[in-house]
Amino acid sequence: MINEEYYVKLNQDAADNYYFYKQEAEAQVHRREYTTSKRYDIMPYWFEREGLIVGERSEEETDTYYELDDQGRLLILACDDLIDGYTYVTYRDDLITTRTYVEGVLDGVKEYWLQDRHIGRSVEYVSRFNKINVEEYIYEGNQLVQVYQPQYENNEYYTHLVRTYFEYDEQGGLLRVLDGTQGVIYVEMADAEVQTLREMVKKELMLAVKQTMDTICESPAERAYCFLSIYLHDEVHAVYSPMFNPGWEEVREEQIEEKDEHDEYYYYRLWSSGEHPLNDQQELEDHDLIQRLRTLIIYWRSRGDWFEEGKRLWQEVAYELNVTTNWSEYSKLTDYFVVFVEWEAMDVMNGDLHASIPANKLALLQSEDLAPII
């Protein structure tokens, strides 16, 4: 049972004694280490759980830095999570306490309780929300195998956060981190394994998009479609489970009729799925395929290039479908139907359609003034 009164007093003490804890930490500093971004956290496997990349050491002075004692323990964390935020760390027997301030004002206090030299529990009291966050760490031998967050247990929306699972290879290296629904949030793979999985997923995605078009064309609605947009945006789930937005031919015809020769945004609107009704919007339905694609995206996320890699994969899917598929065999599709990948920053005037649409089909679109000639 967490004693809330204790943590209220702990926060009040930290708020009242900012200079004491600051000076106590500064007095023990042995060395300072500058980094390009956040590099350390006391919480076990914090970066893997958050899907973030560890910052690199810097030979130059940066805003983010760490100060350590003569045992190599963290004493001061400067601007690693918050702008102008400084965390001061104290060590007492089997307890580590962090106090974080922004411009001298308390942001939060967190305690880490140790058991057999491992962190067994962390408790944070967030005073502005009057909320206590607890994490319990479960080990098998020296390996962390599970993290339990009891505050989320009775809220279905946060089912994925209640428990986090850790898997290791035969040498004891971290292999995968899974959320409470067994979804991958971190994975290690060899290059060959990544390539094999990518090729498998690519073929499955091509089949899934074709099945999506079957579903759309089998609908009772009396309308024709001029494109299928695979819409991505910059959140991980929207790349491994994007929206498929069909473009209505009647909308395209209206756009053509309303074209003004001085309209510099004509082609942008022509290829914006947001200009079309979303009545026929579709998603991937194969859960296993989504999980395989998710594994790839999560792997790329841990290396910093997940959106570009995911976009490139989807563009290859669209391109090969446009090369190998006779769309005229599908009912309700126009003669100039194509599949393409769309994202918020897509620039049709600078060739972003080329990665999805082969040259011969793009030339046909251009001949009908449906795509810009670049």
CA angle at 315 for the pair 311 and 319, rounded to the nearest 5°: 175
| Domain definitions of the chain by residue range | 4-187, 191-367
Distances (CA, A) of 371 to 73, 107, 363: 59, 52, 8
What percent of the chain clears pLDDT 90, i.e. is strictly above it? 87
CA–CA separation, 32 and 76 (whole Å): 9
- pLDDT score, position 127: 75
Q: How far apart are CA 156 and CA 176, in angstroms?
A: 24
Residues whose CB is less than 8 angstroms from the CB of residue 174 and which lie 6 or more positions away in sequence, other chains included = 45, 48, 166, 167, 168, 186, 188
In this prediction the pTM is 0.87
- Whether the Cβ atoms of residue 164 and residue 146 lie closer than 8 Å to each other: yes
Residue in the block written with tokens 């929306």: 157
* Token pair in block for residue 50: 């958050």
Specify the pLDDT at position 1. 61
pLDDT in tens, 204-239: 999 999 999 999 998 887 899 999 999 998 889 899
Tens digits of residue pLDDT in 268-288 = 999 999 999 998 999 999 999
CA distance 291 to 190: 18
CA dist., res. 171 & res. 186, Å (int): 18
Rounded Cα distance between 154 and 204, Å, is 36
CB atoms within 10 A of CB 257: 7
How far is residue 342's CA from residue 306's CA, in Å, rounded to a whole number?
A: 16
